[in-house]
Amino acid sequence: MKHQEKPPEGNLTKPMEFVLLDFADVPHLQWFLFGLFLIIYIMILVGNGTVFLITKLDPALQTPMYFLLGNFSFLEMCYVSVILPRMLTNLWTQRRRISLVACATQMCFFLMLGVTECFFLAVMAYDRYVAICHPLHYPLVMNHKVCVQLVAGSWMGGVPVQIGQTFQTFSLSSCGSNLINHFFCDIPPVIKLACGNTTVNEMMVYTVAVLFVAVPFLLILVSYGKIISTILKLSSATSRTKAFSTCSSHLVMVTLFFGSATITYLRPKTQDSAGTNKVLSLFYTISTPLFNPMIYSLRNKDFIKALKKLLRK
């Protein structure tokens, strides 16, 4: 981020509301974008809601893997609901104003749920590691109590830090501009409005990104390194194929989410571009919730069987 020279004290303000510019630079596409994002939002809610219900209702799916998948689907619905309803309202009404409190609340929940998603993906990788590398100990290691603790830890792990980071971001004074060149209240575009030296805030963003994005990602890489090593030692080609198939869905989700999030928050700010940030943000806020039900369910015979059973009822 480019540091701005601190202006005279009289020019420092704390705006009580902001304007989310979102896609105002393409006015001829407003209705098209509204329809597109509305369809996407409905698909996300229906798809993830179906996965959540089936994993809770079908007795055959009461296993650690499906317990985690059900909670992950619920998380995806919450995650996307922090952003898309406000964006749809802005596109519909063309009123892009958002109060300081609403902006800070949106940022805080977005950050907390984003961290939760990182933790969930790491926990799901650990689940696959235990299932493939230590199958005899799997029922003991991944018992219901442990699963509940892992899920609770994922939900609560980043809450204090993200509340603090949100408070720190909105404690900055603005140079008078309240125009956020984004479709939601994210840290980088809000910090751009700040006056003076924002080095501490930028370092905080990098530190938190490393702790809550890079560390879970490294744990996932270690887990899959051990998983692949174990799979390659299997004598049966059928067993290898089956083992790879149980991991491929999760790997696709990891690539989609961590790839775009890492580029957004950890790439050099000399390459900063509002348009690029919007595209990348759309990718990791919408693509993973949208593709989650398709990736996990369409290739899963147990899930398809449970879905047919539910539809028959």
Predicted confidence (pLDDT) per residue in 103-150, tens digit: 999 999 999 999 999 999 999 999 999 988 898 999 999 999 999 999
48, amino acid identity? N
pLDDT band at 14 (very low <50, low <70, confident <90, very high): low
Tell me what pLDDT residue 294 has: 82
Please give the structure tokens belonging to residue 43.
């698909």
Tell me what pLDDT residue 212 has: 87
- Which stretches does DSSP call E strand in 135-262? 179-180
Tell me what pLDDT residue 4 has: 42
Residues in the chain: 313
**Nearest partner of 157 among 185, 103, 127, 120, judged by Cα:** 120
Tell me what pLDDT residue 7 has: 45
pLDDT band at 10 (very low <50, low <70, confident <90, very high): very low
Q: Are 178 and 16 in contact (CB under 8 A)?
A: no
Phi and psi angles of residue 270, each rounded to the nearest 5 degrees, phi first:
-65, -20
- Find the range with the poorest average confidence among 39-43, 178-182, 194-198, 215-219: 194-198
Q: Which of the pair, 40 or 272, is modelled with greater confidence?
A: 40
Percent of the chain with pLDDT over 70: 90
| Per-chain mean pLDDT for the chain | 84
Tell me what pLDDT residue 271 has: 52
Distance from C-alpha of 48 to C-alpha of 71, rounded to nearest angstrom: 10
Backbone angle region of 143, left / alpha / beta, with phi > 0 → left and psi within -120 to 50 → alpha: beta
Tell me what pLDDT residue 45 has: 95
Distance from C-alpha of 236 to C-alpha of 221, rounded to nearest angstrom: 25
Q: Which of the pair, 208 or 239, is modelled with greater confidence?
A: 208
- Find the range with the poorest average confidence among 28-37, 85-94, 288-297: 288-297
Predicted confidence (pLDDT) per residue in 145-202, tens digit: 999 999 999 999 888 888 988 998 888 877 767 888 888 898 888 888 888 778 888 8
Tell me what pLDDT residue 269 has: 59
Please give the structure tokens belonging to residue 226.
């051990």
Tell me what pLDDT residue 258 has: 82
Predicted confidence (pLDDT) per residue in 81-110, tens digit: 999 999 999 999 888 889 989 999 999 999
Predicted confidence (pLDDT) per residue in 294-312, tens digit: 887 766 777 888 888 877 7
Tell me what pLDDT residue 265 has: 66
Predicted confidence (pLDDT) per residue in 51-70, tens digit: 999 989 888 888 898 999 99
Query: What are the structural domains, with CATH classification, of the chain?
Result: 12-312 (1.20.1070.10)
Distance from C-alpha of 284 to C-alpha of 293, rounded to nearest angstrom: 15
- Find the range with the poorest average confidence among 31-45, 66-80, 237-251: 237-251
Distance from C-alpha of 182 to C-alpha of 274, rounded to nearest angstrom: 7
pLDDT band at 270 (very low <50, low <70, confident <90, very high): low
**Nearest partner of 287 among 37, 53, 71, judged by Cα:** 37
CA distances from 310 to 77, 84, 301 (A): 21, 29, 14
Q: Which of the pair, 34 or 277, is modelled with greater confidence?
A: 34
